[in-house]
């Protein structure tokens, strides 16, 4: 699949934003992080909303006819893209109410009941939005590498792990105790990394339709003689890409090194020393790693249309 920059930016940024909001609300409701009061929570929530918004706005950049984008809210019953849009839009008023609650609770330190409720609802909406993003891809039977429960699982795990690392950075900037957050980041990064490994192993085995099932000629060898085109059409530009296998392999190593291993090691160091510059480095590396991960997610996806072109 063609890796559109706007979609990579969208999924990484809004994933991290929603993950950050989800984890912040969950942690603050449970009161797990000492020193994180309503004021500090507000900063994290605001950052998360900004990240999510950057992502959502950039997602509209890949529409060829954005003036009809408002119509995307009308097929909730069948389309995961429509569901994603609806959850994302519902998220905004709810998070606004929650932020107002946090603002009012700045001094007293105690959140009113409606603040609590809106926090819960907002985190559920954030979760639902990320899940829908994963399901847009996972529901396509035409792309064997995406058609798996591992895809939404990966999207969710990457969102909450990157969100937690960003939360660690925000906490570090505010001088909050980092043990809980860096420990949690470490655990989530390891889990997310293992899940991604599972995905890479799973897509390694050949799967999906072949030219034989496409033409109904079950046994003979088939090769393409002519595509009937003198240059690349929409189908080739959208669905095939000529990234050499060697580059793909190298990029996978990059994903692991930049996206998981180094950030995890940094979190381990923070866990033991509470050094406050390290979370910044971890966030930058992690986001770069995730951008490569998302690029690979598209590059490695092989749409069945390629079969008809003998690829």
Partner 1 sequence: MKLGLVIDLDTCVGCHACVVSCKQWNTSGTLGALTDYDPYGKEPNGVAFNRVRSYEVDEYPNNKTVNMPMSCMHCETAECVTVCPTGASFKREEDGIVLVDQDKCMGCNLCSWACPYGARELDQASGTMKKCTLCVDRIYDMELSEAERQPACVLTCPTRARHFGDFDDPDSNVSVLVRERNGLQSMPELGYNPVNHYLPPRPKPNAPIHDGGQLEPLTDRFKKWLNKVVVR
Site residues for partner 1 per CB under 8 A = 1, 62-69, 71-75, 78-82, 85, 136, 139-143, 209, 211, 213-217, 220-235, 238-239, 303-305, 308-310
CB closer to partner 1 out of 201 and 214: 214
Helix 113-138 vs helix 5-30: crossing angle, to nearest 10: 150
Which residue bears the tokens 């809980």? Answer: 180
CB 157 within 8 A of CB 137: no
Least distance from C-beta 3 to partner 1, angstroms?
13
Least distance from C-beta 261 to partner 1, angstroms?
32
The SS3 call for residue 304 is coil
The SS3 call for residue 116 is helix
Residue 66 is given by DSSP the state G
Which residue bears the tokens 């396509």? Answer: 140
Least distance from C-beta 205 to partner 1, angstroms?
16
CB closer to partner 1 out of 65 and 242: 65
CB closer to partner 1 out of 113 and 234: 234
CB closer to partner 1 out of 49 and 82: 82
Least distance from C-beta 34 to partner 1, angstroms?
44
Least distance from C-beta 269 to partner 1, angstroms?
42
List Cβ neighbours of 21 (8 Å cut-off, separation of 6 or more): 44, 45, 48, 49, 52, 95, 122, 123, 126, 163
CB closer to partner 1 out of 222 and 288: 222
């Amino acid at each position: 699949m063609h890796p559109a920059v706007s979609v990579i930016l969208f999924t990484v940024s809004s994933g991290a934003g929603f993950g950050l909001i989800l984890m912040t609300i969950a942690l603050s409701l449970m009161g797990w992080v000492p020193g994180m009061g309503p004021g500090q929570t507000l900063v994290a929530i605001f950052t998360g909303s900004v990240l999510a918004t950057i992502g959502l706005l950039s997602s509209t950049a890949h529409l060829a006819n954005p003036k009809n984008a408002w119509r995307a809210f009308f097929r909730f019953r069948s389309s995961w893209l429509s569901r994603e849009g609806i959850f994302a839009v519902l998220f905004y008023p709810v998070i606004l109410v929650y932020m107002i609650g946090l603002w009012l609770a700045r001094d007293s330190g105690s959140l009113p009941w409606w603040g609590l409720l809106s926090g819960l609802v907002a985190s559920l909406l954030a979760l639902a939005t990320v899940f829908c993003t994963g399901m847009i891809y996972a529901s396509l039977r035409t792309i064997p590498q995406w058609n798996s429960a591992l895809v939404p699982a990966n999207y969710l795990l990457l969102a909450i792990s990157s969100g937690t690392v960003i939360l660690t950075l925000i906490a570090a900037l505010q001088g909050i105790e980092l043990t809980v957050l860096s420990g949690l980041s470490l655990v989530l990064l390891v889990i997310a990394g293992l899940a991604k490994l599972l995905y890479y192993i799973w897509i390694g085995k050949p799967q999906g339709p072949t030219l034989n099932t496409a033409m109904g000629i079950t046994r003979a060898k088939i090769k393409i003689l002519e595509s009937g085109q003198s240059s690349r059409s929409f189908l080739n530009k959208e669905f095939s890409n000529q990234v050499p296998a060697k580059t793909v392999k190298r990029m996978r190593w990059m994903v692991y090194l930049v996206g998981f291993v180094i950030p995890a090691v940094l979190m381990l160091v923070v866990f033991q020393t509470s050094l406050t510059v390290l979370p910044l480095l971890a966030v930058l590396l992690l986001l770069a790693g995730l951008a490569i991960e998302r690029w690979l997610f598209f590059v490695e996806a092989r749409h069945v249309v390629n079969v008809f072109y003998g690829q």
